[in-house]
């Protein structure tokens, strides 16, 4: 096999075993039905938009623990601002997310706080703020236009939006100087700074993008459910990180791609979907995802050891 | 550097006093001024009761962080231990002994697994322990099918662990005080303690000077797991039955206290005794907010701000 074919084989069959998973899932009645494919598409499209942001931050050598809380923020903001018009509400979801991302980015770049701690603190602050604002109750919307945004047949709008975001992010990361700079910052910050890149600004932009995408994704989820809930997204940072890591991103930065992350996304989403169809209780799903993340990070660290020794 | 081991950081009473103690005094004065209900003996006992449960978790996380790593699986270990203690059925001498010992051993075992992943395989400790957190929560909820947990029988000696009040002080406060003294001495005056400061300060240098980094590091996680489990056992003794989904979230206030107490996020600097002051500060702030009817969401918001402020302050001071 040519190296290119080998790489493709590895991407789909081994890291992650996506094709084997899909073949196994074929034995589950109804997995390939139109109805289930739609459910799968809906489930992965909201998470997928978050994963893209997370991947960009991870390529730049950071991490964004706040994505779940920011999703909830976007959903609540969108529903609350709906009376001012759909456009305002959609833009506000992204803008509030971008604001949270800017806060994370500022803590990381200006105050030089470890990205995990910065985004953890932002996560807690955002969660506290929306729980206080909504008095811990979900906000409900009955606006037809807004609910229609959560529909789309046969392909959900959210899925099309995710694909569009993924293509845009892919083009930016691979076809533009900005993308090369982000990879450079993630691979070696000192070297990037010495070759004249504005490291702080680039990193801040990555967190801003991640925040805006998470807020936007939260708006789409609220449109699908008809509610903006202040408590959604608790495990989102976990599954988003798992998808990005499976897709070849690394906690050390400088590695990863949007395409890889999308494969990781379909793998994680497909696994969860298959477990749902089999009637596996959500507790076991939490175990599987948590255990998988644990194993992935261990593999990520062990790989570093192998290479450095 | 203000942290050249072995001179500065570990010596109990041998070095300067952390500013967190001044903050504690200020917070106590402010709390007494804001609410006349604060300085009642009933309220002080409840502050201590609350502070101690988070405090024991924070002590273990302090040791891990002095070694340069974070342990965010502690909240899930608390839950696991509480459920285990109740499922064992803490009645009779044997039952009570098992209900105390087994959860703590299980907590230590989880810590060893975390430690192996972090120090053997070189995994990022934050993401590793979050993965472990979700794994444990899932495992515990699967075991009890997400249902409310009741002990088949609870002996008086077991509930006394949390509910006895010698001298009017809740018994867990004595457990906490004993653990603080033991850990303070271990960290300041034993070879193990010096090694933890060493690996947190510079793992490579300490490896070259003969410190067993992997074994020391694994031990820090084991201590953290065992202490978190201790908190869980105390909760089980306190409430007697519990909704497992309602037990959790201890890791965040504990982390806030560890950082507020001056333990450096990159490791090598910090003292368990300073974490105690930070725990009291947070417990008092939470208590006063509750008295003034600020609910959980606002308390969460304030905790996030305190954490950010503390990290920013120590970063700013440390780099100077």
Distance CA A161, CA B56 (A): 47
Distance CA B72, CA B149 (A): 24
At which residue do the structure tokens 């957190």 appear?
B133
Taken as a whole, chain B contains a residue count of 320
Per-residue pLDDT band at A159 (split at 50, 70, 90): very high
Per-residue pLDDT band at B14 (split at 50, 70, 90): very low
Closest CA to A67 of A43, A117, A101: A101
Cβ contact, residue pair B134, A107, below 8 Å: no
- pLDDT over 70 (residue A184): yes
Rg for chain B, CA atoms, rounded: 19
Question: For B133-159, how does the pLDDT look when each residue is reduced to its tens digit (9 = 90+)?
Answer: 989 999 999 888 878 888 777 877 788
Measure Cα distances from B151 to A85, B100, B148, B172, B251 in Å.
54, 14, 10, 20, 25
Q: B106 and B229 in contact (C-beta within 8 Å)?
A: yes
At which residue do the structure tokens 């791609």 appear?
A257
Question: Tokens at residue A285, please?
Answer: 């799903």
Mutate to test the interface with B, among A66, A287, A300 (most CBs of B within 10 A): A287
Handedness of CA A274, A278, A284, A286 (dihedral sign): positive
Per-residue pLDDT band at A214 (split at 50, 70, 90): very high
For chain A, list the domains and their CATH numbers: 31-301 (1.10.3470)
DSSP class of B89: -
Give chain A positions within 8 Å (CB) of B314: none
- Please report, for chain B, the start and end positions of each structural domain, with discontinuous segments joined by +: 20-31+42-319
Cβ of residue A266 closer than 8 Å to a chain B Cβ = no
Q: Considering CB atoms only, which of A284, A285, A290 is closest to B133?
A: A290
The SS3 call for residue B146 is coil
Q: Name every residue whose Cβ is closer than 8 Å to that of residue B139 and which is 6 or more positions away in sequence.
A: A283, A287, B80
**Residue range A114-122: average pLDDT?**
90
Least CA distance to A116: which residue of chain B?
B126
Least confident window among A5-19, A265-279, B20-34: A5-19
Give chain A positions within 8 Å (CB) of B265: 113-114, 117
- pLDDT over 90 (residue A163): yes
DSSP class of B241: E
- pLDDT over 90 (residue B176): yes
Cβ of residue A125 closer than 8 Å to a chain B Cβ = yes
Question: For B287-315, how does the pLDDT look when each residue is reduced to its tens digit (9 = 90+)?
Answer: 998 888 888 888 888 888 888 888 888 87
DSSP class of A83: G
Cβ contact, residue pair A127, B134, below 8 Å: no
Mutate to test the interface with B, among A272, A297, A309 (most CBs of B within 10 A): A297
Percentage of chain A exceeding pLDDT 90: 55
Distance CA A205, CA A62 (A): 12
Distance CA A203, CA B220 (A): 33
**Residue range A22-30: average pLDDT?**
85
- pLDDT over 80 (residue A229): yes
Q: Name every residue whose Cβ is closer than 8 Å to that of residue A189 and which is 6 or more positions away in sequence.
A: A61, A199
**Is the preceding omega at residue B6 within 30 degrees of 0, hence cis?**
yes
**Residue range A69-74: average pLDDT?**
96
DSSP B159-174: HHHHH--GGGS-HHHH
At which residue do the structure tokens 């390529």 appear?
A59
The SS3 call for residue B149 is strand
Q: Considering CB atoms only, which of A130, A251, A289 is closest to B127?
A: A251
C-alpha dihedral over A111, A115, A120, A126, to 10 degrees?
A: 60
Query: Which residue would you say has higher pLDDT here, B80 or A16?
Result: B80
pLDDT of residue A24: 84
Closest Cα of chain B to A272: distance in Å?
A: 14
Q: Distance from CA of residue A96 to its chain's centroid?
A: 17
Question: For B232-244, how does the pLDDT look when each residue is reduced to its tens digit (9 = 90+)?
Answer: 999 999 888 888 8
Percentage of chain A exceeding pLDDT 70: 97
Separation of first and last alpha carbons in chain B: 9
Closest CA to B240 of B145, B141, B151: B151
Cβ contact, residue pair A294, B311, below 8 Å: no
- pLDDT over 50 (residue B4): no
**Residue range B106-134: average pLDDT?**
91
Distance CA B144, CA B16 (A): 49
Phi, psi of B8 (to 5 degrees): -85, -60
Give chain B positions within 8 Å (CB) of A302: 121-123
Per-residue pLDDT band at B252 (split at 50, 70, 90): confident
Please state, rounded to an integer, the average pLDDT across all residues of chain A.
89
Closest CA to B76 of B149, B135, B123, B117: B135
Closest CA to A206 of A145, A115, A121: A115
pLDDT of residue B13: 37
- pLDDT over 70 (residue B276): yes
Question: For B196-231, how does the pLDDT look when each residue is reduced to its tens digit (9 = 90+)?
Answer: 999 998 888 888 888 899 999 999 999 999 999 999
Count of pairs with CB atoms under 8 A, one residue in A, one in B: 148
pLDDT of residue B15: 57
Buried b (16+ CB within 10 A) or exposed e, B6-21: eeebbeeeeeeebebb
Give chain B positions within 8 Å (CB) of A237: 130
**Residue range A255-270: average pLDDT?**
92
- pLDDT over 80 (residue A308): no
Closest CA to A260 of A275, A237, A242: A242
DSSP B246-293: GS---HHHHHHHHHHTT--TTSS---HHHHHHHHHHHHHHHHHHHHTT
């Amino acid at each position: 096999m040519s190296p290119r074919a080998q790489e493709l084989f590895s991407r789909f069959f081994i890291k992650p075993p996506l094709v084997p998973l899909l073949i196994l899932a074929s034995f589950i009645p109804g997995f390939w039905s139109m109805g289930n494919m739609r459910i799968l598409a809906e489930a992965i499209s909201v998470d997928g938009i978050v994963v893209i942001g997370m991947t960009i931050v991870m390529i730049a050598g950071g991490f964004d623990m706040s994505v779940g809380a920011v999703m909830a923020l976007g959903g609540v903001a969108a529903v609350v601002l709906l009376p001012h018009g759909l456009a305002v509400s959609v833009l506000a979801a992204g803008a509030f997310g971008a604001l949270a991302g800017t806060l994370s980015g500022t803590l990381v770049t200006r105050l030089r706080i470890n990205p995990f701690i910065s985004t953890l603190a932002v996560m807690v602050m955002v969660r506290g703020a929306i729980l206080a604002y909504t008095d811990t109750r979900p906000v409900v919307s009955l606006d037809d236009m807004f609910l229609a945004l959560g529909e789309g047949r046969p392909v959900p709008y959210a899925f099309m939006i995710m694909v569009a975001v993924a293509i845009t992010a892919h083009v930016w990361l691979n076809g533009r100087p900005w993308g090369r700079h982000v990879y450079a910052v993630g691979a070696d910050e000192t070297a990037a700074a010495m070759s004249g890149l504005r490291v702080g600004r680039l990193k801040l932009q990555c967190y801003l993008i991640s925040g805006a995408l998470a807020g936007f994704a939260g708006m789409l989820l609220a449109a699908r459910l008809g509610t903006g809930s202040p408590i959604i997204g608790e495990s989102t940072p976990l599954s988003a990180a798992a998808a990005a890591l499976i897709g070849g991103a690394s906690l050390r930065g400088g590695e990863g791609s949007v395409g890889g992350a999308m494969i990781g996304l379909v793998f994680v989403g497909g696994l969860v979907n298959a477990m749902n169809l089999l009637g596996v209780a959500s507790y076991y799903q939490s175990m599987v995802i948590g255990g998988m993340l644990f194993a992935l990070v261990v593999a990520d660290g062990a790989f570093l050891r192998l290479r450095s020794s | 550097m203000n942290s050249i081991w072995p001179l500065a950081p570990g010596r109990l009473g041998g070095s300067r006093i952390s500013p967190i103690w001044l903050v504690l005094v200020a917070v106590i004065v402010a709390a007494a001024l804001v609410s006349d209900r604060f300085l009642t003996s009933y309220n002080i006992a409840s502050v201590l009761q609350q502070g101690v449960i988070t405090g024991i978790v924070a002590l273990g996380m302090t040791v891990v962080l002095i070694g340069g790593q974070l342990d965010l699986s502690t909240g899930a270990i608390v839950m696991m231990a509480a459920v285990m203690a109740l499922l064992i059925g803490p009645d009779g001498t044997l039952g009570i002994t098992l209900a105390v010992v087994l959860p703590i051993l299980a907590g230590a075992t989880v810590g060893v697994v975390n430690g192996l992943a972090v120090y053997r395989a070189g995994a990022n400790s934050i993401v590793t322990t979050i993965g472990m957190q979700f794994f444990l929560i899932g495992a515990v909820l699967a075991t009890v099918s997400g249902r409310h947990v009741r002990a088949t029988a609870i002996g008086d000696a077991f509930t006394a662990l949390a509910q006895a009040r010698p001298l009017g002080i809740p018994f867990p406060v004595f457990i906490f005080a004993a653990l603080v003294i033991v850990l303070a001495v271990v960290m300041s005056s034993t070879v193990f303690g010096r090694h933890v400061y060493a690996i947190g300060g510079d793992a490579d240098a300490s490896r070259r000077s003969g410190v067993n980094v992997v074994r020391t590091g694994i031990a820090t996680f084991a201590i953290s797991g065992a202490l978190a489990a201790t908190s869980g056992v105390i909760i089980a003794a306190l409430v007697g039955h519990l909704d497992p989904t309602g037990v959790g979230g201890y890791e965040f206030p504990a982390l806030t206290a560890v950082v507020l107490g001056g333990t450096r996020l990159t490791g090598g600097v910090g003292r368990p005794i300073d974490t105690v002051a930070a725990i009291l500060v947070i417990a008092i702030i939470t208590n006063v907010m509750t008295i003034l009817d600020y609910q959980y969401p606002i308390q969460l918001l304030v905790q996030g701000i305190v954490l950010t402020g503390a990290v920013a302050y120590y970063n700013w001071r440390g780099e100077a």
